[in-house]
Structure 1
Amino acid sequence: MTSMNRFIKICIAVILVFTIIYLGSLVDFIFQPILSLLSVVMVPLMLAAFFYYLLRPLVKWMERPKLKKSWAILIIYLVVVILLVLFGIGVWPSLRTQFSNLVDNAPNLFSTLGKQLQELEQNGALSAILPENVSPLSKLTEYLNSGFSFLTNYVAGLFSFFSNFAVILFTFPILLFYMLKEGEKFGQKIVSFMPKRFREDTKKVVKDIDTALSGFIVGRVVVNVILGVLMYIGFLIIGLPYALLLTMVAVIMNFIPFIGAILSTIPIVIIGLIESPSVAIWSLIIILVAQQVQDNIISPYIFGKQLDIHPLTTVILVLAGGDAFGIFGMIVIIPGYMIVKIIIVKVYHLFFKRKWENA
């Protein structure tokens, strides 16, 4: 009888939640200003959270000589500004030149690519890959058109995403400063809001979430930087054009698990094929070797068992996040899943498993 009453209470709670959601949808105009404010604040807030976990170990290390946290943060800001200036002087001109040359030479590059494919078709090199009566040039045009429409949609989304650049520029450093200075108190506030009997469990959940996010973000940055260095050295050795630009794109895209590696490989192989088929093959080999080094040597050493997510689950999550929220969804879906998983597992052990085992 007691279990039946508990089941009825759960059903009533679920019905009430869905009723509240339905009633809220009828008066969504009331929440529209709040949603608009959140959409503006979300970008700088996510950036601040990302760099908070990235810079927090450095802030803690600088506090050891009894340096005040505020001064440690300001020194880090000064170093970051110096690094940005050095990047603007040393790296950005080369990157900008490669990008400008790539845009200016795009018609010639596509023409050269067509000639390369014609030669491969005449030599019979593509007959083993493509079905009969399939023209690689027509397929190339089809794929490129699809790719350009894909890129156009996402570039338009990125422009709208960063349309409030002034807001991001001025709010992001301020948010980051206070997160680095007061971030540890945020978890304490969450714990203090909970009933006393749940505070220890809540403290553990907050600590687990903090550890998981910190390990994931710092580990992802370290892994991507090492991957970029390996790829860039390999591209320089084989003489791949636009090596720096393509490496930067690959490093950024690699923040999207699995899908990003595939998307970044396509332009690299195309540019390599325009140069020569051998360069394309060597480019693909370098990417595969770098990915294997990352997956089998670097990632297990850095992440350990922190990223306990099945590869199939990762692919499904990334596809779902991309379908719902675009590139932004692909990037944040994995850490979001980690947070939800930790909370659900704790709630299950706290409210259900103990009762079922003791029943």
Structure 2
Amino acid sequence: MNKFYKVCIGVILVLIIIYLGSLVDFIFKPILSLFSLLIIVPVLLAGFFYYLIRPLVNYLEKLKLRRTIAILLLYVVFAIMIVGFIWGVWPSLSKQVEALERNAPALFNSLANQLEKLESYPLLASIFPEDTNTLTQITEYLNKGFALLSNYITGLFSFFSNFAIILFTFPIFLYYMLKEGGKFGKKIVSFMPKRFREEGLETMNDIDKALSNFIVGKVLVNLALGVLMYIGFIFIGLPYALLLTVIAVIMNFIPFVGAILSSVPIVIVGLVESPSVAIWSLVIILVAQQIQDNLIAPYIFGKQLEIHPLTTIVLVFAGGDLFGIVGILVIIPVYMVIKIIVTRVYARFFKDKWEAA
């Protein structure tokens, strides 16, 4: 009984500490923001690029090149690629951004005119009730979406205002990850009891392989999707094709939801041009997505990414609700890691007992 009381007192003290901490959260928020800016975001970026660059580093190391020299050589190559992007692609992309921002009011007016024309079609008029003003409702939704987009862009500019700090710390983390990355798993396993170390090392290898396949595969799949969509948009003469493709590729890193969200601006811009362009834009998106899901993704991922679509939706919404955009982006890899650990623990400690029972 004394032990029970001690546990209860300990829980109560922890809850009191949490409550008192919530009363002075203004002290901890700047510290957490600084920690996120200096540590969390650079480490996540470094981890992402670590899995992309590591195969190249390993390949150069097999060619008898020292690992440090291989990393620095790849840094130089990527710096040249960034300069090439800024020199060759960015001017065209920035012009489309400026043109879209400048023409936004005209685009909304053109969209309203197109919607008015569509409302006059007998087929659509029979679908929508007569006592509802569909144009007004759609315009309200678009205004709300435009307001959310403006807030998002404002937050994005706020992020890039701190980008100098991230740009300074991120390459340092990435360098040490690439140089010492193979030792992380062994160091973590070294804290485990000896009888579990071999199995622990196998678990770390499974996690490493799963994250590597997921990140590299996701990048390749999204790039292939971008190429397919861009070719289709150029073919039908969709305005701002490059900008909309870049947005679609970035948004597709958000599981399931990103594909839907990225389709909205594409269809709207197509509808401003003409209803036929909007329809063909939607057809291109659907065809590209089907090619991605049924041909490219199975070839790249195989059967390693077996996550039910409903599970993906729940995870995305939970991650966004808890941790915002960062949570949405990392929730699937985190789920994969937890799933591997839980599967291993179940097989090691519970499977035989429960199945026998």
2:15 alignment counterpart: 22
1:184 alignment counterpart: 182
1:198 alignment counterpart: 196
Q: Would you say the 8 A contact 2:93–2:243 is kept in 1? A: yes
CA distance in 2, matches of 1:119, 1:237: 25
TM-score by length of 1: 0.91
Residue 135 of structure 1, CA deviation: 2.2
- Relative to structure 1, the CA distance from residue 15 to residue 100 in structure 2 (aligned partners, 3 Å threshold; closer, same or farther) is farther
2:333 alignment counterpart: 335
1:39 alignment counterpart: 36
* Identity rate, percent: 63
Aligned length: 350
2:163 alignment counterpart: 165
- Relative to structure 1, the CA distance from residue 110 to residue 146 in structure 2 (aligned partners, 3 Å threshold; closer, same or farther) is same
- Relative to structure 1, the CA distance from residue 199 to residue 17 in structure 2 (aligned partners, 3 Å threshold; closer, same or farther) is farther
Alignment partner of 1:353 out of 322, 335, 351: 351
- Relative to structure 1, the CA distance from residue 45 to residue 13 in structure 2 (aligned partners, 3 Å threshold; closer, same or farther) is farther
Secondary structure of the 1:256 match is: coil
- Relative to structure 1, the CA distance from residue 37 to residue 192 in structure 2 (aligned partners, 3 Å threshold; closer, same or farther) is farther
- Relative to structure 1, the CA distance from residue 289 to residue 131 in structure 2 (aligned partners, 3 Å threshold; closer, same or farther) is farther
Alignment partner of 2:172 out of 147, 171, 174: 174
Amino acid at match of 1:249: I
- Relative to structure 1, the CA distance from residue 169 to residue 240 in structure 2 (aligned partners, 3 Å threshold; closer, same or farther) is same
2:87 alignment counterpart: 89
Moved more, 140-149 or 58-67: 140-149
- Relative to structure 1, the CA distance from residue 324 to residue 71 in structure 2 (aligned partners, 3 Å threshold; closer, same or farther) is same
Amino acid at match of 2:36: S
2:273 alignment counterpart: 275
Q: Deviations over 1:96-116 (max 9, x none)?
A: 001100010111111111111
Moved over 6 A (4+): 11-17
| C-alpha RMSD over aligned residues | 2.4
Moved more, 142-151 or 19-28: 19-28
1:144 alignment counterpart: 142
Q: Deviations over 1:150-194 (max 9, x none)?
A: 223433443444443221010011111111111111111001111
CA distance in 1, matches of 2:331, 2:249: 18
1:122 and 2:108 aligned: no
Amino acid at match of 2:32: L
Alignment partner of 1:318 out of 291, 306, 316: 316
Alignment partner of 1:296 out of 294, 297, 300: 294
Give 5+ residue unaligned stretches, structure 2: none
CA distance in 2, matches of 1:241, 1:252: 19
CA distance in 2, matches of 1:214, 1:15: 43
- Relative to structure 1, the CA distance from residue 279 to residue 65 in structure 2 (aligned partners, 3 Å threshold; closer, same or farther) is same
Residue 261 of structure 1, CA deviation: 0.4
CA distance in 1, matches of 2:245, 2:143: 24
- Relative to structure 1, the CA distance from residue 34 to residue 274 in structure 2 (aligned partners, 3 Å threshold; closer, same or farther) is closer
Residue 308 of structure 1, CA deviation: 1.3
Amino acid at match of 2:332: I
Alignment partner of 2:254 out of 241, 252, 256: 256
1:214 alignment counterpart: 212
Moved more, 224-233 or 28-37: 28-37
TM-score by length of 2: 0.91
2:49 alignment counterpart: 51
Residue 13 of structure 1, CA deviation: 12
CA distance in 2, matches of 1:24, 1:316: 32
Amino acid at match of 1:79: V
- Relative to structure 1, the CA distance from residue 19 to residue 184 in structure 2 (aligned partners, 3 Å threshold; closer, same or farther) is farther
